[in-house]
Amino acid sequence: MRDPEAELRALEGDGLRRLLRRIESPQGTRVDLADQDSCLNFSSNDYLGLATNEGLKAAYQSHIGRLGGGSGASRLVCGTMAAHLDLEEKIANLKQTEAALTFSSGFAAATGTLPALCRKGDVLILDKLCHASLIDGARLSGATMRIFPHNDLDRLESHLEWAVGEVGRDGRIVVVTESVFSMDGDLAPLAEIATLKERHGALLLVDEAHAFGVLGPQGRGLAAALGIESLVDLHMGTFSKAVGLSGGYLCSRRATVDLLINRARSFIYSTAPAPALAATISDALDLVCDSRGETLRAELLERRTTFSPDTTSAIIPVIIGENEAALAASAKLLKKGFLVPAIRYPTVPRGSARLRVTLSAAHRTDDILSLKSALAECRETH
């Protein structure tokens, strides 16, 4: 029988072993590691710095005082509290959909939604760079999967044409993409994708994990920025990135959400998120969508411009290639006091290991400038 030690050695040999790093401080643009204090953190998805926002911390504490700790049971048993329904109404209003469902994480939203809506005989068409949660959700569904090369509209169209012939009258075809891609920071051509899916009678799921809170009017995401929200059938996202907390959402038509309540296993068979968390997410959404959010988004844009005039998002990949080289570059940066993770297969394709820099509105201009010079030095000595 295979023993785990041998498997770990194999990972180690390929430069693919992962280790946990203990952070001693709260999340923030500076973090204390076990053996190195006050590292500049360029690895978090807390794009607006809300994870440690003073107002939200106070709100969270008061909600715990009012509502207690846990939620007691799954949503369908006795775990649905007013705070969950209020949050769902709020996110549905923001996304301008009839209804919304929240999950304990974005991962749970993806792995719950796709198998609830698709089954054997249906077709799921995914961008090659879709997040692991979308791939796992697609696999779990039992539907036929087709992958198109990243952002390749011609191949998406040929998959759609094929799918139309493949599924029966009752069959579903769902196109799945992200709006801001998590490891590349580039954008999907959402308007063109929406046109194609309309032409072929397919549904469109857009995962706005890295765009919600960051792009578009009120931070409502890329679909809102492009004015095509109404063409997106399934709006997915997470409260764990720009919103600074945790939890996932899926916004859609009332009947679709009701179907998820009946079929999404990650929703049905999991204890409801803590009510105080749901209430704090509602407070965070108010902040993200009003003038405070606008100010933070303007600051984030300034940080991006300081880093480089041609960033497309707050995610900036520095492609290195080989695993060991990416790890070495990350270790070198850490020695200089910069926490920038090396991202390797299977998170990104083989041969494209990279440093993934993420910027936050909470960074100071000086932080960005010192990272830039550290990266430049790193390249010279590479």
Ligand X SMILES: *Cc1c(COP(=O)(O)O)cnc(C)c1O
Residues tagged active-site = 45, 131, 178, 182, 207, 210, 241
Minimum CB separation of residue 44 from ligand X in Å reads 12
Q: Which is nearer to ligand X, 141 or 306 (CB)?
A: 141
- In whole angstroms, the minimum distance from the beta carbon of 328 to ligand X comes to 26
Phi, psi torsion values for 81, nearest 5 degrees: -105, 165
Minimum CB distance to ligand X smaller for 315 or for 374: 315
- Minimum distance between the CB of residue 181 and ligand X, rounded to whole angstroms? 7
Residue 223 and residue 215: Cα distance in Å, rounded? 9
Q: State the minimum distance, in angstroms, from the CB of residue 222 to ligand X.
A: 12
CA torsion sign for 361, 362, 366, 367 is negative
Nearer to ligand X by Cβ, of 108 and 378: the residue is: 108
Query: Which residues form the interface with ligand X (CB under 6 A)?
Result: 105-107, 110, 131, 133, 178, 182, 207, 209-210, 238, 240, 246, 248
Q: Which of 117, 122, 116 has its CA nearest to residue 164?
A: 122
Q: Residue 200 or residue 210: which is nearer to ligand X going by CB?
A: 210
Q: Name residue 317's beta-bridge partners.
A: 356
Amino acid type, 108: A
- Strands of the sheet with 30-33, listed across from one edge: 30-33, 36-41, 338-339
- Which stretches does DSSP call E strand in the chain? 30-33, 36-41, 99-103, 123-127, 144-148, 173-178, 203-207, 234-238, 248-252, 315-321, 338-339, 342-343, 353-358
Exposed (0-12), middle (13-18) or buried (19+): which is 155, by Cβ within 10 Å? middle
- Rounded Cα distance between 21 and 282, Å, is 31
User: Which residue lies nearer to ligand X by CB, 133 or 256?
Assistant: 133
Instruction: Give residues with Cβ within 8 angstroms of 165, minimum separation 6.
Output: none
Tally Cβ neighbours within 10 Å of residue 181. 25
CB of 298 to ligand X, least distance (A): 23
Q: How far is the CB of 205 from ligand X (least distance, A)?
A: 11
By beta-carbon proximity to ligand X, the closer residue of 103 and 338 is: 103
Give the 3-state secondary structure of residue 355.
strand
